[in-house]
Structure 1
Amino acid sequence: MDGVNEVGEVRVSRVQMEGDNESQTPSEHKCSTLCDSIHGSVHDKDNSPMMRALLCAQVSKVNRFKTEDQRWLLVREQMSETPLSFSLPKQLLSLLIQEHTNRIQEVKELGDLSPHWDGLRHDVISHCNHLTGCYQELLTELEKVSASSCFKPSTSKSDRHLQFVPTNLHTQRMEVTSPDSVWYDVITFGAPADHHQAFKHGGLKKLLSKHTNLRESCVSYSQEESSRAKELLTRMAQLQPLVFGLAEELLSVAQELNTARLRQVLGSLMEQTEQFVHALKEELVKCALLEIHNQCIANANSSHVHSNGLLCENCPADQEQDGGRRDTEYDEEEWDRVWVNVGKSINCIVAMVDRLQQQEETLQTVMSITSSHSSHLLPLVVTLRDCVREAVMKAQVAMTFVVLQEAVDATVAQGPVHIAQRRHAAFSQALSAVVCGVMLKLYRGLEDPDFLRQLHTVGVLAQFESLLSTHGDEIGMLEDMEVGVADLKGVSFTITEAKTEQPDDLLPTLSGTCFIVEVPLPPETFSSLPQELKDGLLIRVDPVLFNIGINQHQSYAERFGDCSLQERINQQSCERLKAYCNTLRDRLPDMGKAFLSLLRFLPVKRVRFLPTLANCFIEAKKRKNVEVLWIAAKVCRKVNGVRLTSCKSAKDRTAMSVTLEQCALLRERHALSQQHFSIALDWMRRDGCRMENVEKNIGSRKFAFSSVQLLTFPKLYRPPDGSYG
């Protein structure tokens, strides 16, 4: 199907359509129609340039099943790899290397600092250097991998050089023809977790919680505030010499008997001083000075040992040039008085120039005039320079604090390098999967105006389903996955116009420290989009995660362990899912009505109205409540969301989940008969694409279950005899 090599010949002589005797249409005509539908589906839809760029190494399985009204459903499973498995992690590594390199340069440019702040700078530089070294090594190793490689098998999930690559990432897709074609997609991949570092000390959630408890409380500044602080530092370096230079020029011109020139220089000084005040008189500076004072008071009796071994008594206030005074109370109006003094100084100079020019009419000699001008203006100019210098000193201290604090918060404060690397790895794996899902959803919805309106108005829902247990190492995997999925909230998508229809030009690109994914579309397709999307409006992602353990280890956890992690994750995701649906209802009322119809899927006795949706999802006393996953999947599909399913390696439990979901869709939406429900489920698990997935991962056509283990599985998640061992 990928057109690489001719490998053989398949001859189809006839397709027998049972139950056609009562039809007036000859079976040969039905056979022709059936084959035409297959041909059209494969060649018209999946063979588009966008699909060819996104999907590769496709495997297809076709079967037919009878409906309740004795019709036939043609069902095609298709499993594909994607080049995003490697291309996005490589782009992310490049961005992280650049981000940390830039941060090193930024803090180095802050110049001489007090011992305390210099120690903080050393911490930031050391942290960033370590990460850039590790990430450069990982990127180098990934670049060595064949450009055609799109797949990381489950046997390589602990490989250090493949930390950032998602495990066993595939698109699992089902096409149903009866007679029209409908597609259902699920992204399957191993739980985004750092298997290389393993889980001896837990996963990200636990590690971050421990680190947070050890951190001293400190204010946090955003990247926007840090960028503004750097701009102010640059403006200070430019404006202060200009003000000082014009002040000196005013003294020089005052010695000349040239009223016009004196007035000209004075006007320039006033204008430059006004620009100086306008540039630096910001609330950010005032707030930072207050925070410096508060931290100084809080740490006055404590010491801090930096990673470089430097012991610092006291803190940032060491930079204050006030003779060591440390007030126990900070006057918030002090910063405003600095600017009042600058204004008074320049006003005094203007007033003095006016008086001196009036005196010129009565003075007799040039000598007396110039002497008078200089002697009267000199102290006022000195005062102006002192006031400007004080303002610059305080603003530099404040903005240096903001830049350093943001750098510390973005690096050191996030935890040791092994925690930061673990978090980036989990995020990278989750990112690759969700980008693949969003692109697939976008391609399928390009002709749906309601969906396109939903994209730029509300955003897209990404619903992650996890089958991990809350026992042993899988607790750590689930903790990694929780953080990795949550970090996707900072990711946005934007649609761009591709240069050509070549595969490389249709692959997404990652940019920015907030991670914007640019999805290119062919020019003709791009031109048909709503104007908002063509203008580059960002599409945000709302990720939610639901986990229900189904294996024997979850049975241990339910009887003897702790399921609170799973309960907390599901409860929080319920609230986020409900918030997304409420937003959809408020902003797009017509689509919101469609969501309300979801209530018919839920048990009436437990659901009276929308706010109780979360209560329906969580039944603390019900073990292995897989209904949580079913309902979450239904909600996701109803609101045009992206479905993603995971277990440890996306090989065995994931196969049980996606095949069950496919058969449930055939029954609920295409009237699959109950008898053929079991037949379809067994076929998909024994001979479908997921068995091919098992073989390509471990070289065996057997799911990794034992008969004893399967006794603890929910019945619908058990494979047919002969397919496991």
Structure 2
Amino acid sequence: MMSCNKCFCPSSDNSSSAGQRSFLGFTSFSIRDLLRSKEPHISLSLRTMDGVNEVGEVKVSRLQIEGESDDKTPPEHKCPALCDCLHGSVHDKENSPMMRAVLCAQVCKVYRFQMEDQRWLLVREQMSETPLSFSLPKQLLSALIHENTSRVQEVKELGDLSPHWDGLRHDVINHCNHLLGCYQKTLAELEKLSVSSCFKSSTSKSDRHLQFVPTNLHSQRMEVTCPDSTGVWYEVITFGAPADHHQAFKHGGLKKLLSKHANRRGSVCLSSSSVSYSPDESSRAKELLASVAQLQPLVFGLAEELLSVSQEMNISLLLQVLDSLVQQTEQFVHALKDELVKSALLAIHNQYSTYCNSSSHVHSNGLICDSSPANQERQPSLHEAEYDEEEWDRVWANVAKSLNCIIVMVDRLKGREGRTQELTLSEQQEDMGDTNSQNTAASSSSSSACSWQEQLLPLVVTLRDCVREAVGKARSAMTFVVLQGAVAATVAQGSAQLVQRRHAVFSQALSAVVCGFLLKLYGGLEDSDFLKQVHTAGLLVQFESLLSTYGDEVGMLEDMEVGLADLHRAGFIVTEAITEQPDDLLPTLHGTWESLVVEVPLPPETFTSLPQELKDGRLIQIHPVLFNIGINQQQSLAERFGDSSLQERVNQQSCQRLKAYCNTLRDRLPDMAGVHSLSDLLSSLDRSVAARKRKNVEVLWIAAMVCRKVNGVRLTSCKSAKDRTAMSVTLEQCVLLRERHTLNPQHFSTALDCMRREGCRMENVQKNIGSRKFAFSSVQLLTFPKLYRPPDGSYG
């Protein structure tokens, strides 16, 4: 016979809150003390969450397990060792600064379940909130605000532009300013919340100011202690499917909305869609613009100085100025000899040709305006009917040629000056004392000076014209690159509402992944194979979704698919923390939307024990996969009368990505434990995904098994992570007990019902909706797979 013992009670009824429960305080104790106590119960002081004040008393009782006295091992020899293992893990590892930084508001339940050999498993179930629910979204909002502010500034600094390009700039600025206003307001609302805020309930999932915050995010952890081994931890991150409930799903989710946007852009031949530039190319374009802006005035100034010095007939000074002019002009030419300039000029010509051949003008925000002569005049006038790809080479070559002409002319003047000085000296010796000869010499000198300036002037003008032409083309080309980069990063991605939706969904997904990675990292710091795996092959992140493909949940799944795909933009690096204070151990987010880095600080002593690659800042890549199987009555409707193709496509694509990750492991880490045993599991997953079977939850089970074998992060979601998610994680926990810890099969159903009726997930329901009932009806449950049905009395 089994019994379920609640050994940790963090909440109590609050009669003043309309029957809802709230956290009053907490206490902790050793199972050993309870079992060794002469009395069948112990009394414990209940303290506030900060541990300062006593707010009451709780009494914990033990139940006698039937048949325990018949066990060959006496309880006094068996139980103390068993409880010592649990006691040590609770008070040492679980209270480490790292764990306190990532987990908070813990709810614990402890069970004893019988094994096949009649001995007992001690199972500790723990559900925790995390401060990352709010700290990561706030950091992402700050990063997006900074990025959009910088983009507005960089396009404003492009100076005077043609009317057409100024229109593109106007589009970018308006788009960025709209996002800035929304994000600044959202961040301000989040900053108003208590610093201890760690939880967004399912009833708040549509709140606008909580749009970036994951719904009902928790870590669900289970520690299993066997008589012959120390505690083993299993973890799942649970949270509401990352989706934008505020904007709702009337027009579908991100996948459909982005597809519509792409089709519209294609149908109207959006000018900015035909070419794109990487962030590195945009940065190089800005550097070239800065170089041109700096070098052009220097070249022009030295050219003017050359003309001025030519009047003084001082050949040494003239040569000095010429050397400076040559040096600056060569730097100018070298800066312009960049393939990016040449390719951008060709792209401008191609887009101008497309525009001229079309009957409508498309702004970068996708709005179509009728063509008119006025609109025609707005186009940049850089192009001829036929564009010669070598034209740009000739432009900067002309600068070099015009400079060479000046050098040749100065050399001629230098030679002529030498002959003039010889002639003047001979005349002075013959006509010494003759005043007329002095006037003649002065007149000759003045005439010579005018001749120098007259001969240099057209060459200097030509040089300036060539430089001006090169500057104009280079500035146009680099402005095009910068604007294209700005357009691609803003308005070309869709409306501000669409971009905001994408950022919000990504924020929810990233917060959950960071929480999962931290727990996985903290648990694997002594596992050299795991540490080598993450910096060599990256981190597998497996999302399990229980959404249906009917109604609004289709839009949620579409949001989720795009949000998880966007996780490739982010990666982890491990850094050394300043101190071991929890605030210094919180992860920080840096970068832009295209490339985000999450820095994970570790205590100095822990950091020094890491592999050198991680200490050197090796980026840990994220490899997300998503498997979805709808299990409720809405999925029954979708399978009979609707369309489940979205689910089939998502599962097939993720199956291929999962196999690719496993192949990478086999190639790069052939000696990794268990890597060669993945083939059979992957083959089974392939067959299950391909099978035309309704509510084929076997897909989820096999994917989870593969994930655990390769040290991946497991995440489970449904609409709000409250009901269907509870059924999934409790089932997974009991399956792990049966498969890995020989839970007696006769007690499997009893253990499953016990966890669902009395476990942490019931506390999750309570804190979300104030009721201790799963939101199912008897009729709905008839459509659920049998293993996903809660026990009688736990729903309604």
- Work out whether the TM-score is over 0.5: yes
Q: Which residue of 2 aligns with 1:396?
A: 475
- Does residue 603 of structure 2 align to residue 554 of structure 1? no
Using the TM superposition, give the Cα deviation of residue 238 of structure 1 relative to its aligned residue in structure 2, in angstroms: 0.4
Q: Which residue of 2 aligns with 1:326?
A: 384
Q: Which residue of 1 aligns with 2:321?
A: 265
Paired residue for 2:285, among 205, 229, 232? Answer: 229
Using the TM superposition, give the Cα deviation of residue 124 of structure 1 relative to its aligned residue in structure 2, in angstroms: 1.2
Worse-superposed segment, 233-242 or 452-461: 452-461
Structure 1 residues 564 and 361: alpha-carbon distance in aligned structure 2, compared to 1, 3 A threshold = same
Using the TM superposition, give the Cα deviation of residue 582 of structure 1 relative to its aligned residue in structure 2, in angstroms: 1.6
Using the TM superposition, give the Cα deviation of residue 552 of structure 1 relative to its aligned residue in structure 2, in angstroms: 0.8
Paired residue for 1:85, among 108, 133, 152? Answer: 133
Whether the 8 Å CA contact 1:491–1:516 is kept in 2: the answer is: yes
Helix, strand or coil for the counterpart of 2:542?
strand
The CA distance in 2 between the partners of 1:468 and 1:456, in whole Å, is 33
What residue identity is the alignment partner of 1:245? Answer: G
Whether the 8 Å CA contact 1:119–1:310 is kept in 2: the answer is: no
Q: Which residue of 1 aligns with 2:419?
A: 362
Q: Which residue of 2 aligns with 1:296?
A: 352
- Does residue 714 of structure 2 align to residue 714 of structure 1? no
Worse-superposed segment, 446-455 or 297-306: 297-306
What residue identity is the alignment partner of 2:623? Answer: D
The structure with the largest alpha-carbon Rg is: 2
Using the TM superposition, give the Cα deviation of residue 9 of structure 1 relative to its aligned residue in structure 2, in angstroms: 4.1
Using the TM superposition, give the Cα deviation of residue 233 of structure 1 relative to its aligned residue in structure 2, in angstroms: 1.1
Structure 1 residues 617 and 367: alpha-carbon distance in aligned structure 2, compared to 1, 3 A threshold = farther
Helix, strand or coil for the counterpart of 1:362?
helix
Paired residue for 1:98, among 146, 158, 161? Answer: 146
The CA distance in 2 between the partners of 1:456 and 1:15, in whole Å, is 49
Paired residue for 1:683, among 734, 750, 754? Answer: 754
Helix, strand or coil for the counterpart of 2:517?
helix
What residue identity is the alignment partner of 2:678? Answer: L
Using the TM superposition, give the Cα deviation of residue 17 of structure 1 relative to its aligned residue in structure 2, in angstroms: 8.8
What residue identity is the alignment partner of 1:477? Answer: M
- Does residue 353 of structure 2 align to residue 282 of structure 1? no
Q: Which residue of 2 aligns with 1:570?
A: 651
What residue identity is the alignment partner of 1:94? Answer: S
Q: Which residue of 1 aligns with 2:57?
A: 8
The CA distance in 2 between the partners of 1:259 and 1:310, in whole Å, is 62
Helix, strand or coil for the counterpart of 1:384?
helix
What residue identity is the alignment partner of 1:559? Answer: R
Whether the 8 Å CA contact 1:468–1:474 is kept in 2: the answer is: yes
- Does residue 395 of structure 2 align to residue 343 of structure 1? no
Structure 1 residues 341 and 619: alpha-carbon distance in aligned structure 2, compared to 1, 3 A threshold = same
The CA distance in 2 between the partners of 1:582 and 1:317, in whole Å, is 54
Show CA shifts across 1:561-605 (max 9, x none): 1111111111111122122222222222212x6222123446xxx
What residue identity is the alignment partner of 1:685? Answer: R
What residue identity is the alignment partner of 2:540? Answer: L
Q: Which residue of 2 aligns with 1:30?
A: 78
Helix, strand or coil for the counterpart of 1:549?
coil
Q: Which residue of 2 aligns with 1:204?
A: 254
Whether the 8 Å CA contact 2:730–2:755 is kept in 1: the answer is: yes
The CA distance in 1 between the partners of 2:102 and 2:602, in whole Å, is 12
**Aligned-pair Cα RMSD in Å:** 2.1
Paired residue for 1:375, among 454, 461, 484? Answer: 454
Paired residue for 1:151, among 172, 183, 199? Answer: 199
What residue identity is the alignment partner of 2:717? Answer: S
Structure 1 residues 316 and 199: alpha-carbon distance in aligned structure 2, compared to 1, 3 A threshold = farther
Worse-superposed segment, 306-315 or 615-624: 306-315
Worse-superposed segment, 343-352 or 146-155: 343-352
Whether the 8 Å CA contact 1:492–1:540 is kept in 2: the answer is: yes
Paired residue for 1:417, among 496, 521, 524? Answer: 496
What residue identity is the alignment partner of 1:293? Answer: H
- Does residue 242 of structure 2 align to residue 189 of structure 1? no
- Does residue 741 of structure 2 align to residue 670 of structure 1? yes
Structure 1 residues 617 and 380: alpha-carbon distance in aligned structure 2, compared to 1, 3 A threshold = farther
Q: Which residue of 2 aligns with 1:595?
A: 675
What residue identity is the alignment partner of 1:318? Answer: Q
Using the TM superposition, give the Cα deviation of residue 18 of structure 1 relative to its aligned residue in structure 2, in angstroms: 4.8
Whether the 8 Å CA contact 1:292–1:317 is kept in 2: the answer is: no
Show CA shifts across 1:205-227 (max 9, x none): 11111011111233122222212
Paired residue for 2:623, among 518, 528, 542? Answer: 542
Matches within 5 A, 1:53-64: 53-64=101-112
The CA distance in 1 between the partners of 2:66 and 2:476, in whole Å, is 82
Show CA shifts across 1:607-660 (max 9, x none): 3xxxxx773342251111111111111111111111110000000110111111
What residue identity is the alignment partner of 2:232? Answer: V
Whether the 8 Å CA contact 1:19–1:70 is kept in 2: the answer is: no
Q: Which residue of 2 aligns with 1:252?
A: 308
Structure 1 residues 382 and 478: alpha-carbon distance in aligned structure 2, compared to 1, 3 A threshold = same
The CA distance in 1 between the partners of 2:745 and 2:464, in whole Å, is 89
The CA distance in 1 between the partners of 2:82 and 2:666, in whole Å, is 40
Worse-superposed segment, 487-496 or 345-354: 345-354
Whether the 8 Å CA contact 2:628–2:700 is kept in 1: the answer is: yes
Whether the 8 Å CA contact 2:361–2:368 is kept in 1: the answer is: no
Q: Which residue of 2 aligns with 1:502?
A: 581
* Count of residue pairs the alignment pairs up: 710
Whether the 8 Å CA contact 2:631–2:784 is kept in 1: the answer is: yes
The CA distance in 2 between the partners of 1:170 and 1:626, in whole Å, is 23
Structure 1 residues 527 and 651: alpha-carbon distance in aligned structure 2, compared to 1, 3 A threshold = same
The CA distance in 2 between the partners of 1:530 and 1:247, in whole Å, is 59
Using the TM superposition, give the Cα deviation of residue 310 of structure 1 relative to its aligned residue in structure 2, in angstroms: 7.6
Whether the 8 Å CA contact 1:15–1:31 is kept in 2: the answer is: no
The CA distance in 2 between the partners of 1:376 and 1:174, in whole Å, is 90
Helix, strand or coil for the counterpart of 2:379?
helix
Whether the 8 Å CA contact 2:548–2:630 is kept in 1: the answer is: yes
Whether the 8 Å CA contact 1:127–1:417 is kept in 2: the answer is: yes
Q: Which residue of 1 aligns with 2:118?
A: 70
Whether the 8 Å CA contact 2:162–2:378 is kept in 1: the answer is: no
Whether the 8 Å CA contact 2:402–2:463 is kept in 1: the answer is: yes
The CA distance in 2 between the partners of 1:297 and 1:35, in whole Å, is 79
Structure 1 residues 266 and 614: alpha-carbon distance in aligned structure 2, compared to 1, 3 A threshold = farther
Gaps in structure 1 of 5+ consecutive residues: 608-612
Whether the 8 Å CA contact 1:595–1:639 is kept in 2: the answer is: yes
The CA distance in 2 between the partners of 1:15 and 1:537, in whole Å, is 54
Using the TM superposition, give the Cα deviation of residue 445 of structure 1 relative to its aligned residue in structure 2, in angstroms: 0.9
Helix, strand or coil for the counterpart of 1:695?
helix
What residue identity is the alignment partner of 1:74? Answer: L
Q: Which residue of 1 aligns with 2:24?
A: none
The CA distance in 2 between the partners of 1:111 and 1:73, in whole Å, is 72
- Does residue 640 of structure 2 align to residue 583 of structure 1? no
The CA distance in 1 between the partners of 2:67 and 2:407, in whole Å, is 102
Whether the 8 Å CA contact 2:164–2:380 is kept in 1: the answer is: no
Helix, strand or coil for the counterpart of 1:590?
coil
Structure 1 residues 209 and 14: alpha-carbon distance in aligned structure 2, compared to 1, 3 A threshold = closer
Whether the 8 Å CA contact 1:54–1:507 is kept in 2: the answer is: yes
Structure 1 residues 698 and 11: alpha-carbon distance in aligned structure 2, compared to 1, 3 A threshold = closer
The CA distance in 2 between the partners of 1:388 and 1:153, in whole Å, is 64
- Does residue 519 of structure 2 align to residue 452 of structure 1? no
State TM-score, norm by structure 2: 0.86
State TM-score, norm by structure 1: 0.94
Whether the 8 Å CA contact 2:220–2:235 is kept in 1: the answer is: yes
What residue identity is the alignment partner of 2:384? Answer: R
The CA distance in 2 between the partners of 1:190 and 1:79, in whole Å, is 15
Show CA shifts across 1:445-502 (max 9, x none): 1111111112222211111111000000000010111111111110011112212222
Whether the 8 Å CA contact 2:359–2:370 is kept in 1: the answer is: no
